Structure 1
Amino acid sequence: MADIRRAFLGPFAHKEGPNYQWVSYQGRVPYPRPGMCPSKTFGTFGSTKDFPDEVIQFARHHPLMYNPVLPHGQRPLFLQAAVAYTFTRIAQQLYAGSTTALAQLPLHRCGAYGKACAECCLARDPYCAWDGTACTRYVPNTKRRFRRQDVRNGDPNLLCSEDPRRGSVPQKQLYGVEGSTAFLECIPKSLQAHVLWTYQHTPDDPQREG
């Protein structure tokens, strides 16, 4: 617990630089420090609803701490390699236990794959599938018609296109003024995804790779 407290009392993680790399935030942290429980005993805030907008905005933009919390011995507590086990089914939950506690952990993190069908399918996560609106938890024997997922191939051209014969997925368009600057988001949510930006001066011009 001391390591956990030390991490939460340490610096926040912050994205900085042209590649948006995670670094230690060295700027001013607003009061009350995000993560503190409101208390009229040590402050003037009865609930989080009374927190200043500065604190709320800081918490939204800095949801992670920079220092990690490592297990005892600086290595995994349980490790097995070169075993003849084969996974044959998907579990609803993972249970990890010790002599003093039992933890129940969800295995699906579908919200981490963005809000697009292509990103959800490219993740090839057996616990998640595209349901026509969002990347949600996969439920076996579901009756929903539009649930799409392919763990082996995960081809969004077939899974996400309204007309699979066209072999294309919806494109994100960004309009700019000549001589101005625009930020292009190039960090895909999936390790299988590949982002390609093209540009054209007029609708009649061919698309050129940027």
Structure 2
Amino acid sequence: MSTIREAFNGPYAHKEGPEYHWAAYEGKVPYPRPGCCASQINAPPGGKYRSTKDYPDDVLRFVRSHPIMYQSVHPVHERPVLLRTNGKHNLKQLVVDRVDAEDGEYDVLFIGTDAGIVLKIITIYNEETETMEEVVLEELHVFKVPTPIITMDLSVKRQNLYIGSKSGIAQLRIHQCDIYGSACTDCCLARDPYCCWDGVSCTRYYRPGTPAKRRYRRQDIRHGDVIQQCLDQEPNGETFTKTGERLLYGIEKNSTLLECNPRSPQAKVLWFVETKNMKQDEIKTDDRVIKTELGLLFLKLHRMDAGTYICKAREHGFTQIVTKIKLDVLVEEQIDSMFHKTEGEERPHKIPCTVQSGSHQGSRPWYKEFLQLIGYNNFQRVEEYCQKVWCIEKKRKKSKVAGSKWKYSSIQERKVKTRSQTEHRRAPRHALDT
């Protein structure tokens, strides 16, 4: 505010003509000074200014010819708080909430766009490099149908954000700490001033002195230093590399997508493949293998692409495994031989639920022929899974039919129930009249 007050008390901008540059006005400034509010203080003796309309004519003429102040009011750190070029959406509304964090105060920007999306952003100034870092905390799709946001209001007391558009009004919580997961690393990498790691989960941050159930807090908004904040959280000094392995099948000469979705939008995604000697080589992209926002895309799958792929997320010098995918490639010749059988061969359509896994009594289910293409190393596991799924579905349908058959103990009870349901579904009386 002191910078704004200094600009309005400084010189006015003056221009001699259309082809001249703006310069500071050095002439006489009329009284009352243009820009001051009308009051009894700046009125002449015995007079009174009720509004600026009562100012003398020379003051009003000066205002028309000098509407601009010469000194500019720059943002903090002499640079824009948020700068975006070639953005996907136009920014329509803005509300700001100043939040206390463990390492200082931060201004959280809630920006409404013309597509019904609310961006939750903080900007961090780096004094060493004199640069602004933009951190997108959340990208909230408020309305199902994209519609411009025309109004936004923030309730600090209720911790809610109210969004209005032509299609309706929505209410959102300004913090959702549980979406960052249950790990200390994910909570600290989120860098959300509203949230912190309390030793058990990612929860709401409360300033020191506020009574809370757990006072243990881990938070680093400025640097996001996970190694310093969360290293002692891992048992036995492990390095955050535990993750499950998924099995994915792809057909030769077809396209296949290996999905990878890191929690932090600021993380850099890296793809590696395991070699025979258990080393990890980083994948190099080309015209056939492309890195996308959703994952690693193979436009044309080759036999040699089979292997174990590892997706890692790197942020602030910390790297963690997001997902691990084992890719099996089905050979094209085997697929063709399976679908081009002679007409005399028939496949049974019913899955024998009574047959145990590994037994080959009776007719051979058609899906086992497809499992042969995968390889007998996974045949037993997949066969048990398929039989379990189909048998549970078959039992569920049988129990549903039996339940509906014996739902009513007598014919009279069934009639009464049917009549009551008909009365309940009957249309209103005025609708029948029309």
Query: Which is helix-richer, 1 or 2?
Result: 2
Answer 1 or 2: higher relative contact order, Cα 8 Å, separation at least 6.
1
Same fold (TM over 0.5): no
TM-score (norm 1): 0.43
Q: Which has the larger radius of gyration?
A: 2
Query: Which is strand-richer, 1 or 2?
Result: 2
